[in-house]
């Protein structure tokens, strides 16, 4: 092989190796940006999508009725649909709100009446349960998901706006140490470019999505099942007992006077009972515990 041809082949081989190495370096995965999460769901998805996906994951969520408590401004009443219809006005909730158990993954349509400054007007929001809480056994009714409808949300919905609220459980490591009551759950508005579901996921664990719009029930019977999302079952619950009233000027902790107990027997000391020998040497110790004083004497 001549010298020029050999030089050309070596140059081609060098270029091929360099090109192959460049392709290999390009195929290596880069560093994953810290703090960025790719969310599969967002708050603009149709009702039922997020809840149905939660049922496909692990956890005791199938056929679980999550306690929920609806509350709002003074005079507001709530009613859940039954068999595609709402109960009459006299069967709606009272001033303590509406307590019920809703299935995880289902979407429910409920009615809101008695809106302040809007007599006779009604709203029909939806609530989607996308997760559950894990209270102590037998105390689930004491820790319902609070769904508090504010006046500004109801007013915006009556004006034709779509209001989306995401209820989430706060992270105990970052939660604000502020006391709350069942009727005053804290809420805040997100920016226009932010997604409420993603913001709630960053602050805690989302459990429900509330959507308030101006849609009313259809008059065509064939469209009612779609309006009520199939009419999933729900369970009526009694509200838990209210807190004990604390008199004015007193704290929650009240000091009680010390009352000695007279039903506790006095401690028994050696020799207090005539059946107990006072001399330790006369007590048998078959296993060798205690001081070795003398062996027991047995008589026939």
Token pair, residue 137, equals 């056994």
Residues of the chain with pLDDT under 50: 5, 8-34, 244-246, 252, 271-272
* Secondary structure of residue 98 in the 3-state scheme: strand
Residue with tokens 């409420």: 196
Alpha helical stretches, state H, the chain: 3-27, 49-55, 151-158, 196-203, 224-227
Query: Is the Cβ–Cβ distance between 125 and 210 less than 8 Å?
Result: yes
pLDDT at 189 (0 to 100): 84
Token pair, residue 177, equals 């140490």
User: 87-113 burial by CB neighbour count: b if 16+ within 10 A, else e?
Assistant: eeeeebbeeebbbbbbbbbbbbbbbbb
pLDDT at 53 (0 to 100): 87
Task: Please choose, from the candidates 205, 229, 200, the residue with its C-alpha nearest in 3D space to the C-alpha of residue 49.
Answer: 229
Cα torsion at 252, 253, 257, 263 (round to 10°)? Answer: 100
Cα separation of the two ends of the chain: 122
pLDDT at 42 (0 to 100): 75
> What is the C-alpha separation between 126 and 225, in angstroms, rounded?
14
pLDDT in tens, 59-118: 888 889 999 999 998 889 999 988 888 887 655 566 668 899 999 999 999 999 999 888
DSSP string, 20-71: HHHHHHHHS--PPPTT----S--TTSPTTHHHHHHHTSSSTTTT-EEEEEEE
Alpha carbon distances (Å) from 289 to 1, 22, 36, 278, 297: 102, 82, 68, 18, 17
pLDDT at 44 (0 to 100): 78
> What is the C-alpha separation between 266 and 28, in angstroms, rounded?
80
pLDDT at 138 (0 to 100): 86
Token pair, residue 150, equals 């504010």
pLDDT at 202 (0 to 100): 86
Averaged pLDDT score across all residues of the chain: 75
Q: CB-based contacts of 152: which residues, under 8 Å, 6+ apart?
A: none
């Amino acid at each position: 092989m001549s010298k020029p041809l050999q030089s050309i082949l070596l140059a081609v081989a060098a270029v091929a190796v360099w090109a192959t190495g460049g392709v290999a370096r390009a195929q290596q995965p880069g560093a994953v940006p810290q703090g960025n999460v790719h969310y599969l769901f967002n708050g603009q998805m149709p009702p039922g999508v997020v809840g149905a996906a939660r049922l496909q994951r692990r956890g005791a969520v199938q056929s679980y009725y999550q306690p929920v408590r609806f509350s709002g401004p003074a005079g507001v009443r709530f009613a859940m649909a039954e068999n595609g219809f709402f109960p009459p006005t006299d069967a709606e909730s009272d001033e303590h709100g509406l307590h019920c158990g809703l299935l995880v993954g289902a979407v429910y349509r409920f009615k809101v009446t008695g809106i302040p400054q809007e007599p006779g007007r009604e709203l029909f929001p939806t609530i989607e349960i996308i997760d559950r809480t894990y209270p102590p056994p037998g105390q689930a009714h004491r820790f319902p998901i609070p769904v508090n409808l504010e006046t500004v949300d109801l007013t915006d919905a009556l004006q034709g706006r779509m209001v989306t609220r995401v209820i989430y459980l706060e992270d105990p490591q970052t939660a604000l140490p502020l006391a709350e009551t069942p009727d005053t759950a804290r809420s805040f508005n997100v920016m226009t470019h932010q997604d409420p579901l993603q913001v709630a996921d960053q602050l805690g664990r989302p459990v429900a999505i509330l959507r308030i719009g101006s849609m009313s029930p259809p008059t065509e019977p064939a469209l009612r099942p779609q309006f009520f999302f199939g009419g999933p079952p729900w369970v009526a619950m009694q509200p838990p007992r209210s807190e004990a009233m604390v008199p004015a000027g007193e704290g929650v902790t009240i000091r009680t006077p010390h009352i000695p107990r007279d039903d506790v027997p006095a401690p028994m000391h050696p020799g207090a009972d005539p059946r107990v020998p006072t001399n330790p040497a006369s007590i048998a110790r078959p296993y060798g515990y205690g001081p070795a004083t003398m062996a027991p004497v047995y008589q026939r």
